[in-house]
Chains A and B, each alone.
Chain A
Amino acid sequence: MPDERSKRQDLPLARAEQGSETQAEQLVRDNIAWMLALAERILRDRGLAEDAVQEAFMAAFRGLDSFEGRSTLKTWLHRITVNASLSKLRQLKRLAERPIDEYLPEFDRHECRIEARWTYLAPLQDVLENDDLRARVSESIDALPESYRIVLQLRDIEGYDTSEVAELLKISASNVKVRLHRARAALKKLLEPILRGEVRR
């Protein structure tokens, strides 16, 4: 996350801390839409996202004392929302590591890659401009186990770096890298019919 420094006294949060109900309400109204969207990107479910955002605001109100203005209000709330969403995934046991081996590259006994010849590789725009193909890409991403999809979402989309993702997921940085690579390799395998031009609806 970009960490733009900002003075605490300028923040509406500091005013909310002082207890005005209107200011607390303003804080909620100003931020709830993007927090809801973020939680839904992680949880892929609107109802769960609403629960997570409610918990995130509770954690934010409770943690006002620990917010020292070292990051912007948005950066701080972003992380709280991600944590609340991940905690939901954990409660639902959706972050448990599931085998992904069937989608990973194969090698022969001489450690040579077993890869069918590529005679065509679909251009990016051709896939993105076709709604059916786009939908199939989304379905393939949904087919990834949650523990892999979440690494793609946090690192490639939400802008967290490897060590931040490691901290959020409570795993080591090297494990984040392994999962990220496996997630991309598995996605390549799942997308092969599209990438090879075998599916052109």
Chain B
Amino acid sequence: MTNHHKTGFRRWLKGLTLKRVHRMITCREFEDFVLSYLDGELPDRQRSVFEWHMRICRECRDYLAAYKRAEELGRAVLPSPNDPLPKDVPEDLINAILDAREL
């Protein structure tokens, strides 16, 4: 059995197991809950099912860790209101604004 087949088999087995666990969600359903989970907006029961899925499913656990890291990086790198302000505001822009106000 090649590695590719092993991975496929493991995934198939996990899919089968998840379907048999009462009230368990699939990975696709897990995906739909990610944002609400991170925003703390999931009701208690849904949150515990979400966390239960994460304990069973390594793929979703790893995915969520990488998703959160990507989000942190985005927040850190996107231009921010805390960045230094431009010092070179063009005088002609200020004049254009004031001239237009008089029209």
List A residues at the B interface (Cβ < 8 Å): 21, 24-25, 28-29, 32-34, 36-38, 40-41, 50, 53-54, 57-58, 61, 105, 107-108, 110-115, 117-118, 121-122, 124, 127-128, 134, 137-138, 141, 152-153, 156-159, 177, 180-181, 184-185, 187-188, 191-192, 195
Contacts and interface: CB of A to CB of B under 8 A. Distances in A.
Interface residues of B, number: 51
B66 interface: yes
A154 B53 CA distance: 31
Contacts of A121: 62, 65-66, 69
A115 B5 CA distance: 14
A177 B35 contact: yes
A188 B15 CA distance: 24
A110 B74 CA distance: 32
B74 A187 contact: yes
A187 B83 CA distance: 22
Interface in B12-36: 12, 14-16, 18-19, 26-31, 34-35
Interface in B36-80: 57-60, 62-63, 65-67, 69-80
A113 B32 CA distance: 12
A118 B83 contact: no
Contacts of A181: 34-35
Interface in B74-103: 74-81, 83, 85-87, 89-90, 93-94, 96-98, 100-101
Given A184-B74, A185-B34, A187-B71, 8 more contacts: A29-B94, A50-B90, A112-B12, A113-B28, A124-B73, A152-B78, A156-B71, A188-B70
A36 to B, nearest CB: 6
B69 A115 contact: no
Contact of A118 (B26, B66, B72): B66
A179 B30 CA distance: 17
B31 A115 contact: no
14 contacts: A29-B94, A33-B85, A36-B89, A41-B81, A105-B63, A113-B60, A121-B62, A121-B65, A122-B69, A153-B78, A157-B80, A180-B35, A187-B73, A195-B70
A105 B65 CA distance: 14
Contact of A107 (B8, B27, B66): B27
